[in-house]
Amino acid sequence: MKRVGEVQSSNYLLAKFHDLVDWAVNSSRANSLWPMPFGIACCAIEFMATAASRFDFARFGMERQAFSPRQADVLICAGRLPFKLAPVIRRIYDQMPQPKWVISMGACASTGGIFDNYSMVQGIDTIVPVDVYVPGCPPRPEGLLYGILLLHKKIKGESLFDAVRRRDEQPLDERGLRLPPETIDEISEPFGNSVHQFRSS
């Protein structure tokens, strides 16, 4: 298969129509991602550094930070998420128009991190679907930029015509959960030092 935009001669371009549309749409989407910052802890400080002049993610098309979910493309959860904020981030996610992506920034947003306790969500993927996990405590701006570039790559691999590769709406089920309870319990298992702590005392 010829790749999109591959120049056969100086006079014409050979490409499949689907690929051409995907290329145009995905390039537009990937290169003008508007972030919805959901900064709730120290990761938000690094997020601000990423947005500011030295690192400046406006270079990658994120010029405008959308402080309204209605105009946002990518939700960046920067910080640990307490259970009290779980319905809030879910509502913000639900309010964002398709297509939408989520970056989980930092150890706590991705897994609960050091906060393996009664009040903290053990990974925001139990609440909203996550595309890119950025590790670190907190991640340096380079780390977040790398995550954003990975997301670009992922977006450019999507297709309007392939239902498997297209992101669909992921509503909550009738229990109000995104994942089955067994899955949530499994991925919320203690790890690291916290395995030495007991569930009941």
Partner 1 sequence: MIPGALREAVARDGETIVYVPRERLLEVMTWLKETPGQEFDYLVDVTAVEYRDRERPLEVVYFLRSLKRRADIRVKVELQASEELSVDSVWGLWRGADWLEREVFDMFGVTFRGHPDLRRILMWETYAEGYPLRKSFPLRGRFSRAEQVRQALNANPEAHYSLEELSIADAAGDLPDEMRDRLRRGERGVIPEPPSSSP
Residues of this chain that bind partner 1 (CB under 8 A): 83-84, 86-88, 90-91, 116-119, 121-122, 126-127, 172, 175-178, 181-182, 184-185, 188, 190, 197-201
**Cα dist. 45→73, 86, 130, 140, 159 in Å?**
21, 21, 21, 10, 35
Q: Nearer Cβ to partner 1, position 74 or 128?
A: 128
CB-CB contact of 178 with 127 (8 Å): yes
Quote the least distance from Cβ 141 to partner 1, whole Å: 30
Quote the least distance from Cβ 154 to partner 1, whole Å: 26
Backbone angles phi, psi at 55, to 5 degrees: -100, -45
CB-CB contact of 103 with 93 (8 Å): no
Q: Nearer Cβ to partner 1, position 15 or 184?
A: 184
Quote the least distance from Cβ 9 to partner 1, whole Å: 57
CB-CB contact of 118 with 199 (8 Å): no
Q: Nearer Cβ to partner 1, position 87 or 157?
A: 87
